[in-house]
Every structure is written in C-alpha cells, then in structure tokens.
Amino acid sequence: MHTLDVTEESQWIAVLDTLRARSPRLDILVHAAGVSAGSPIAETEYSVWKHVLATNLDGAFLALKHGIGALRDHGGAIVLIGSASGTRPAAGAAAYSTSKAGLAMLARTGAKECRDAGHAIRINVVSPAGVKTPMWSTMPFFQDLVRQHGSEDAAYQVLAGTGGRFAEPEEVAESVCYLASDSARGITGVELLIDGGYTL
C-alpha cells in the first residue's frame, strides 16, 4: 500500500514509478480522493476554498496527467469520482460543487484528447449524490442533525427527505468497476450519475 498527497505532483510521480517498477503495466486508475466544506460563499474562508479546489480538482488533474502518461502505450481506463453536486448546485457548498463541475469537464477534455491522439484510454466520471461515508460526520450541519435526531441513520433519513435516498458505498464501487471493465469499452467522456433522481 502506498499513500500520497494528491495535490503534490512529486508524490504522484514517485508512487507511479514504484508501481511500474513492480509491474510494467498499469491498466486502471481510479481517483477517489475528495474533501468538502459547508458554509455560504460570503462566509467561506479563502483558504478553505483553495483547499477544496486543490484536493478535488487539482488532484484530479494530476491523476489524469500522470495516469495518461502511464497508460499511453497500452491503453486502459481512468475513472474519477465526481458528484451530483457538480450538476445541481448545493447551497453552502460552493467550493465542493464548483470543484466537481470542473472535474466533469476535465474528464471530457481528457477523453477527447486521448481519442484524438489515438490513445486507447477511456476516461469517465462516476458522480453520486449522497453516499453514506465518514465524510458526513465531519460536517457541522450533519453533526447537528445527529444530535437532533439521535443517530446517523436518522440524520440520513432527514436528508433523504430533501434530496433523495442515500447510496451505499458499494453501489458507487459497482459503477466504477463497470466503467473500468471491458464491458464499458465503448464508453468514454461520460459522467454516470448515481443519484436516485436527485438532479431531475
């Protein structure tokens, strides 16, 4: 197992070099690192804005830059984790929504560049709405809901009443596996929404 700060290009280079030293072929890259923040635009610290954009969007850029380089000779699949919040704005989450909207266009641009250059690299995005992950427990408004309603499950139910059902992490993983597989060999530049109708 290797760890890296996705915002640091030197660490991307080091990890991919280590992987290629073990096996000359890398077939699949999934970029799933992300952070969020919850505050109105007028109350958001610039440092918070930069941190969210750096992790979610700059990190995805570095994943594509170095992933394409690693896959160029033999092809493969890159899957980025976006968010339905990049399609439907979420009040109080401008940095997050903006970063995920940018990520979708980044993936489409990368897919077009690979296609035009004749590289057999497919680049797609899986964009879920609410997913039951530990990220929610870091958000003050979610912590308030847990206190008010007695449990995380109850808090999820309250949120589901305003934005649709929450997905389990496994549902997102299954979609990623599909887009990375040969079954999706004709799919590139696509954003697959896993949102239970949230964006309708």
Q: Enumerate the active-site residues.
A: 96
How many of the other CB atoms lie within 10 Å of CB of 191?
19
Report how far residue 175's alpha carbon sits from residue 162's, in angstroms, rounded to the nearest whole number: 24
Q: Tokens for 118? A: 């004749």
Choose among 130, 137, 123: nearest CA to 172. Answer: 130
- Cα 125 versus chain centre, distance: 7
Report how far residue 173's alpha carbon sits from residue 81's, in angstroms, rounded to the nearest whole number: 10
